[in-house]
Amino acid sequence: MTHAAVGAKTTPVLRFAPSPNGFLHLGHAYSALLNAALARRLGGRLLLRIEDIDPTRCRPEFERAIYEDLAWLGFAWEEPVRRQSDHMADYGAALGKLRAMGLVYPCFASRQEIRTAIAEWERAEGRPWPCDPDGAPLYPGLARRLQVDEVARRLAAGEPHALRLDMAGALGRLAESGRELVFIAFDPDDGERVVSADPARWGDVVLARKEVPTSYHLSVVVDDALQGVTHVVRGRDLAAATDVHRLLQALLELPVPRYHHHDLVADEAGLKLAKSRGSPALRDLRAAGIGAEEIRRRLGFRL
């Protein structure tokens, strides 16, 4: 894809896309308010998407709380809200295209089997196994050791498996086409720049899990394309994931949004706020008598 195509002009569409796996905190509030502020500045549309593909962690009460918290905060979104769990067929269609290209393969290994294989390699080599940008060990390629007939037998038996992207094959296909894997990063106050993506550092990422027929990477790329999102504004912790998203966009011939990855809101210890660490929720701050205007002021926004 050429730089010109990446930067093509169209009606701005932004989205805030939380997961209902916990209550929103100040970090979510900052991202939501920044999306709203940029949508106003660009004269664009603002969408809300519920990313609820994880059935074990996402709960209805958390989703209801998202709507309540955002309304209290003054975040106004367009209806209808897209809920990922209602659109599994869209992700299945995209996955089918990748499978037809020969770029998807089944992996039957459990997390423990993967950890064991990596530990054995590290003992033999005397050095650490490489990790992806999030710090997780790269997949060691266990499925590639299986014979074709064994794979067919295990699939026929209905054995649970994940589906992974053949990263080397995907990059080879892209190289044959001669397309550049780039995207535009924009800073609201400092213009735009072209960035080269490096998806190889993620290895053979999961595109569909054993318990869920999709993944974050696949779903978010499909959603952004179907919703016409032109500007993705999200936390810096997701910046490296753009490499994978850009690759999937190229393979599926999807439009490429501009990206802005904002700084994260940190606590007093300098650690980013997180649901998993019990960071104070917006509803707790509200219960303590802190108003929405005070929250917006703390985060640097005004309606």
Three-state DSSP class for residue 192: strand
Residue 251 to residues 6, 54, 73, 82, 233: CA-CA distances in angstroms?
15, 25, 38, 24, 23
**CB 64 within 8 Å of CB 211:** no
Task: Select the more confidently predicted residue: 303 or 94.
Answer: 94
Which alpha helices (DSSP H) does 183-290 contain, by range? 216-226, 242-252, 282-287
* Rounded CA separation 95/88 (Å): 10
Per-residue model confidence as pLDDT tens digits over 195-215: 999 999 999 999 999 999 999
At 275, is the pLDDT very low, low, confident or very high (cuts 50, 70, 90)? low
Rounded to whole angstroms, how far apart are CA atoms 43 and 40? 5
Look at the block and give the residue holding tokens 């499978």: 99
Residue 9 — pLDDT band, cuts 50, 70, 90? low
What integer pLDDT is reported at residue 224 of this predicted model?
A: 98
Which pLDDT value is given to residue 258?
98
**SS3 of 48, please?**
strand
Q: What is the DSSP letter of 187?
A: E
303 pLDDT band, cuts 50/70/90, is low
| pLDDT value for 3 | 38
228-269 residue pLDDT tens: 999 999 999 999 999 999 999 999 999 999 999 999 998 776
Is this prediction's pTM over 0.85? yes
Residue 80, preceding bond cis, omega within 30 degrees?
yes
Average pLDDT of the chain? 94
CA–CA gap between residue 58 and residue 267 (Å, rounded) = 25
Q: Reply yes or no on whether the pLDDT at 119 is more than 50.
A: yes
Instruction: Name residue 108's amino acid.
Output: F
Tens of pLDDT, residues 34-46: 999 999 999 999 9
User: What is the C-alpha to C-alpha distance for residues 167 and 159, in angstroms, rounded to an integer?
Assistant: 24
The 10 Å CB-count burial string (b at 16+, else e) for 53-65 is: bbeeebeeebbeb
Rounded CA separation 18/235 (Å): 11
Tokens, residue 50: 């519920």
CA dist., res. 169 & res. 48, Å (int): 35
| Ranges 7-21, 139-153, 271-285, most confident | 139-153
Please give the pLDDT value at position 7. 45
Q: What are residue 274's phi and psi, to 5 degrees?
A: -155, 140
Helices (H), the chain: 3-6, 26-42, 60-73, 88-100, 111-125, 148-156, 167-177, 216-226, 242-252, 282-287, 292-299
Instruction: Yes or no: say if 70 and 112 are a contact pair by the CB < 8 Å rule.
Output: no
Q: What was the pLDDT predicted at 167? A: 98
Task: Please list the residues that pair with 193 across neighbouring strands.
Answer: 185
Which residue, 196, 144, 135, 134, is CA-closest to 167?
A: 144
> For residue 270, is pLDDT > 80?
no
Strand-pair partners of 104 = 165
Token pair recorded at residue 228: 């016409």
pLDDT given at position 6: 45
Q: Give the integer Cα–Cα distance in Å for 52 and 58.
A: 6
Q: What is the mean pLDDT of residues 145-154?
A: 93
Cα three-residue angle 66-19-52, rounded to 5 degrees: 110
CA distance linking residue 42 with residue 81, whole number of Å: 21
pLDDT at 237: 96
pLDDT at residue 4, as a whole number: 38
